[in-house]
A and B are shown apart, each in its own frame.
Chain A
Amino acid sequence: MKQVFSRPESLKNVSTHFCPGCQHGSVHRLVGEALDEFGIRSKTIGIASVGCSVFLYGYFDVDVVEAPHGRAPAVATGTKRARPDRIVFTYQGDGDLAAIGMSEIIHSANRGENITVIFVNNTTYGMTGGQMAPTTMPGQKTSTSPYGRDAANDGAPFKMAELLANLDGVAFSARVALNSPKNVLQAKKMIKTAFRYQVEKKGFSFIEALSACPTNWGMSPLDANQRVTDEMIPYFPLGVYRNTANL
């Protein structure tokens, strides 16, 4: 009998702390599959960030450096420059990457650091209990925007995949979602492309993955998944925003 589905070798055989319906697990799996398929697990170094993503070292069977909040791209810069023969990726949430870490991500991208950034956008600070994030959507209620995000007071959400696509140092920038089997397959393809570009030394590659956060959205997993479809994707359109292969 042929086995057609198993845990990627790049992931440990452990259960995660992620809430039911959270899509971090799906993103972890797709990254693990990409590392397996390129055969690069043993030369990969992950850079964990602060937030729900911090336990990267507990789930990935790779060496990991834990970065201060928002600083993962700077830490990755140091690690990659010191060991250019390694595959280095950061894994960051929206508060980490697009608020406190905006300077680090923009400058790492602009330098064309040959690293891969996996950015999980669930429109809220998950670990700290659902506060307003730089990607919280207009009108979205959170524990620090109890009347809904007001662009006049808080600004509009950042669209990171589009923003980074403007920088010459970026080789690949795409937004994906995990809300349907079709989108998961597409996300897999994009994540593989991002790592392939690093393996081929093409420069900075960026994946923004839209993710549900049922706990902090106050929704059931199914309703949260539906919100990704109905609200997030129309505001944060999926697609490839920069691909140097097409320039």
Chain B
Amino acid sequence: MTTTVSEKIFVKGNEAVAMAALEAGCSCYFGYPITPQSDIPEYLSRELPKRGGVFIQAESEIGAINMVLGASAAGARAMTSSSGPGISLKQEGISYMAGSELPGVIVDVMRQGPGLGGIDASQADYWQATKGGGHGGYRIIVLAPNSVQEMYDLTMRAFDLSDFYRIPAMVLADSVIGQMKESIVANPRLAAMLPAKDWAVRGRAEGTPQNVVKSLKLGDGEMEKHHWMMHARYQELADKECRWEEIDTADAKLIVTAFGSTSRIARTAVAMARAEGMKVGLMRPITLFPFPKQAYATLSERCKLFLDIELSTGQMVDDVRLAVARDAEVAFYGRPPGTGSLPTPEEIYEQIKKQCRA
């Protein structure tokens, strides 16, 4: 057996996303410039044509997501990327993709909002990403990297999950993770057991059934059945695909919980607290949908105090409170997104001390 050992390379988070997309066999990218994610279309505009792939800078985010819809319907691995204002525009297309059971990867490098907001990091699009985002009552797969390595690994994972479950998948990053450089190992793609895309439009050759990719369901009971089918897939995702990381939780009296860039800051603060002898751990959800509810429930059987940290006034905290045992307390410390509002490790450490004293 031969194993390939990849060399370490030093790249930006956004570049890691683009590299992973190529490794994952993404042949079609459609996007529109917006800070802080423009490195992704820039990279792919250079690299995709060399490999016979398709790169189009669309007329709008709406155009881009609908090109993803069309390419995905034809069986291709397709991707788009954007940030808050653009992700809002894509919600129409994402809803249609969800309704049409189409895979596709959407990368959201979060920036401040609402409105034009600003280009610094934010986690205030957690609700938009994890609760459906568009109309009609659906969910998409949401993966939250906290390092450049995970930008690479989770982008590749997003393509496989999306193809397997026929649900759009989002990589939910932010401008800190997208813009920072770290060393990574660009692992080769692992072979995944994926079902054939026999539903894709290819032209109805003789003897093959007509394939129709659509979300209009007017038949008696047809839409209700479709919703229950989607619901069952979400349950299957929850049963099989939850991912999270725990650090020092075994004996913890306080568990700090955070995702994405905030979890990196929290990790430093937890280490500072441990160095001072405080029994503090970290719980970091990697999949935001499916949310690792069971993992929180299990942790809360032995640890009754949680501290949720977010770069918002509190969104994921709702899901944490729903997931933990009834007698567990969930405190919250957040900073709304904005220039200068990224908390320091010392700031979070002070919050940990406050909770440990209480």
Contact = CB atoms under 8 A, between A and B. Distances in A.
- Asked whether A and B interact, the reply is yes
Contacts of B211: 63-64
Interface string B193-218: 00000000111111000111111100
A240 interface: no
Given A57-B212, A82-B75, A45 B203 contact: yes
Contacts of A111: 56
B212 A66 contact: yes
A86 interface: yes
B124 interface: no
A41 B71 contact: no
B73 A75 contact: yes
A54 B216 contact: yes
Interface string B69-111: 1111111101000000000000011001000100000000000
Interface string A77-114: 11111110011000000000000000110110001000
Interface string A31-46: 0000000000111110
A167 B289 CA distance: 44
A68 B92 contact: yes
A80 B73 CA distance: 11
Contacts of B205: 42-43
B54 interface: yes
A62 B203 CA distance: 6
A68 B66 contact: yes
B59 interface: yes
B280 interface: no
A114 to B, nearest CB: 13
B314 interface: no
A61 interface: yes
A86 B203 contact: yes
Given A63-B212, A76-B70, A81 B201 contact: no
A67 B214 CA distance: 8
A71 interface: yes
B70 A78 contact: yes
B67 interface: yes
Interface string B37-80: 00000000000000000101011101110111111111110100
A48 interface: yes
Contacts of B30: 78
A41 B75 contact: no
Contacts of B69: 65, 67-68, 71, 74-75, 78
Given A45-B74, A71-B93, A82 B27 contact: yes
A164 interface: no
Interface in A106-132: 106-107, 111
B59 A107 contact: yes
Nearest to B102: A65
Nearest to A46: B201
Contacts of A178: none
Contact of A61 (B28, B63, B67, B204): B204
A30 interface: no
A29 B47 CA distance: 44
Interface in B24-38: 27-28, 30
A139 to B, nearest CB: 33
B68 A63 contact: no
A111 to B, nearest CB: 8
A104 B71 CA distance: 16
Given A68-B92, A78-B30, A78-B67, A83 B204 contact: no
Interface string B165-192: 0000000000000000000000000000
B66 A71 contact: yes
A75 B70 contact: yes
A210 interface: no
Contact of B66 (A45, A48, A74, A86): A74
A42 B62 CA distance: 30
Contacts of B66: 67-68, 71, 74-75, 78, 104
A67 B92 CA distance: 11
A62 B210 CA distance: 6
11 contacts: A42-B203, A45-B74, A64-B211, A65-B201, A66-B212, A67-B66, A68-B93, A75-B73, A76-B70, A78-B28, A79-B73
Closest 5 CB pairs of A and B: A78-B70, A74-B66, A66-B214, A78-B71, A75-B70
Given A64-B211, A68-B96, A78-B69, 5 more contacts: A66-B213, A74-B69, A78-B70, A83-B76, A107-B63
